């Protein structure tokens, strides 16, 4: 139903059945549950051409391969990549044609599968075609390679990528034990190539649904120059319901970070709305009370402060 693949690098990090890395890598009978949906985010409905999702007006998500170095058990696209095969060239050309014909697209997210499973040469052909489109301002690559196959990040890859700036990379660390010397080196090489690095974690039960674990993770990420970007509430994907946590757990993690540590360390906690509503950020409520004159705010330590609701010359009703 969903392939098993664990890279030799990640395999070495597994310590015992049920540990946080094991859960992400090793199949589990609970994946047979039929709870949830095969395409909870309606990526197919927002797909004008195959392998491209155009949900937000100014950015598009292009899937360039279905292959990954490791098949994460919590994968959101597990129903799309049950039988990973190379994506035919014509499909990618067709998707790039769509981007060329839509001048409102200024940001292209190259995703998959994992785009860094392509050879440098294949990936460069895609980057060249996208860079030739004047309205495409920024490129982003979404990849878990720094975590799962860090040796793929070579000097040659970095030298190639830096020719396509402004290029951003978002990666996917979920647990502090994934921040190994090899992964740190891979991120350092990408950062040294001038690539701003972000991280998109998924909140997973038994893996990182704990403020202390997430605090350690975000600190380790900043130390390797990776900026926490998103913390995703788990999508309602069939076969992954055993990973789901409550929304209160996610909010508690953000509460534990905001104000208590560097603002740079605090990701946006988002739910990708079922049915294709896109990402919606959740913020622990800091506004305790609100009148026409003032709002009452709660700080990270739980103390209350007031601030005028509007400037003195604002007399709108």
Ligand X SMILES: *Cc1c(COP(=O)(O)O)cnc(C)c1O
Hey, which residues are catalytic here?
A: 55-56, 59, 68, 72, 75, 77, 235, 272, 279
Span interacting with ligand X, options 31-39, 56-64, 83-91, 92-100, rule CB under 6 A: 56-64
Q: Which of 56, 164, 168, 300 binds ligand X (CB under 6 A)?
A: 56
- Our finding on whether 162 is near ligand X (CB under 6 A) is no
Query: Shortest approach of ligand X to residue 41 CB, angstroms?
Result: 7
Q: Does 279 bind ligand X (CB under 6 A)?
A: yes
Q: Provide the total of helices (H) and of strands (E) in the chain, helices listed first.
A: 9, 12
Min dist. Cβ of residue 299 to ligand X (A): 27
CA 113, CA 111: separation in Å to the nearest integer?
6
Work out the burial of residue 42: count CB atoms within 10 Å of its CB; fewer than 13 is exposed, 13-18 middle, 19 or more buried.
Answer: middle
Shorter beta-carbon distance to ligand X: residue 20 or 43: 43
Smallest distance, Å, CB 133 to ligand X? 17
80 is an interface residue for ligand X by CB under 6 A: no
**Contact mark string toward ligand X, 99..118, x via CB under 6 A:** ----------x---------
Q: Which is nearer to ligand X, 13 or 39 (CB)?
A: 39
Stretch near ligand X under the rule CB under 6 A, chosen from 50-58, 66-74, 91-99, 159-167 = 50-58
d(CA 258, CA 266): 6
Q: Are 51 and 62 in contact (CB under 8 A)?
A: yes
Report the distance separating Cα 109 and Cα 93, nearest Å. Answer: 15
Number of residues that bind ligand X (CB under 6 A): 7
Edge to edge, the sheet with strand 287-290 lists: 287-290, 294-298, 304-308
Q: How far is the CB of 61 from ligand X (least distance, A)?
A: 4
Closest to 179 (Cα-Cα) out of 162, 201, 154: 201
| Positive or negative: CA dihedral 28, 249, 75, 144 | negative
Residue closer to ligand X by CB (options 150, 267) is: 267
DSSP-derived letter for residue 97 is H
The yes or no reply on residue 61 touching ligand X (CB under 6 A) is yes
Q: Measured between alpha carbons, how far is 94 from 212 in angstroms, rounded to an integer?
A: 46
- Interface ranges with ligand X (CB under 6 A): 53, 55-56, 59, 61, 109, 279
């Amino acid at each position: 139903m969903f392939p098993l693949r664990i890279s030799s690098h990640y395999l070495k990090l597994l310590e015992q059945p049920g540990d946080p890395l094991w859960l992400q890598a090793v199949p589990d009978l609970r994946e047979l549950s039929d709870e949830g949906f095969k395409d909870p985010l309606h990526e197919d409905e927002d797909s004008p051409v195959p392998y491209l999702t155009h949900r937000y007006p100014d950015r598009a998500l292009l899937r360039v391969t279905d292959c990954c170095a490791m098949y994460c058990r919590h994968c959101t696209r597990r129903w799309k990549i049950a039988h990973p095969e190379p994506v035919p060239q014509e499909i990618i050309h067709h998707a790039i044609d769509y981007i060329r014909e839509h001048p409102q697209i200024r940001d292209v997210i190259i995703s998959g599968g994992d785009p860094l499973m392509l050879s440098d040469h294949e990936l460069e052909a895609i980057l060249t075609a996208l860079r030739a489109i004047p309205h495409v301002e920024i490129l982003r690559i979404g990849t878990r390679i720094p975590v799962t196959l860090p040796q793929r990040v070579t000097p040659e890859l970095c030298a190639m990528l830096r020719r396509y700036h402004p290029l951003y990379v978002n990666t996917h660390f979920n647990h502090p034990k994934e921040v190994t010397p090899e992964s740190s080196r891979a991120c350092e090489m990408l950062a040294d190539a001038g690539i701003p690095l972000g991280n998109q974690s998924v909140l997973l039960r038994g893996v990182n649904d704990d403020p202390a674990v997430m605090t350690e993770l975000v600190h380790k990420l900043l130390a390797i120059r990776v900026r926490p970007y998103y913390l995703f509430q788990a999508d309602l994907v069939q076969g992954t319901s055993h990973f789901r946590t409550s929304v209160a757990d996610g909010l508690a993690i953000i509460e534990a970070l905001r104000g208590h540590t560097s603002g740079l360390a605090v990701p946006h906690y988002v739910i990708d709305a079922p049915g294709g509503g896109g990402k919606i950020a959740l913020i622990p409520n800091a506004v305790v009370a609100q009148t026409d004159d003032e709002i009452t705010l709660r700080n990270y330590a739980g103390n209350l402060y007031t601030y005028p609701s509007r400037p003195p010359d604002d007399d709108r009703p």
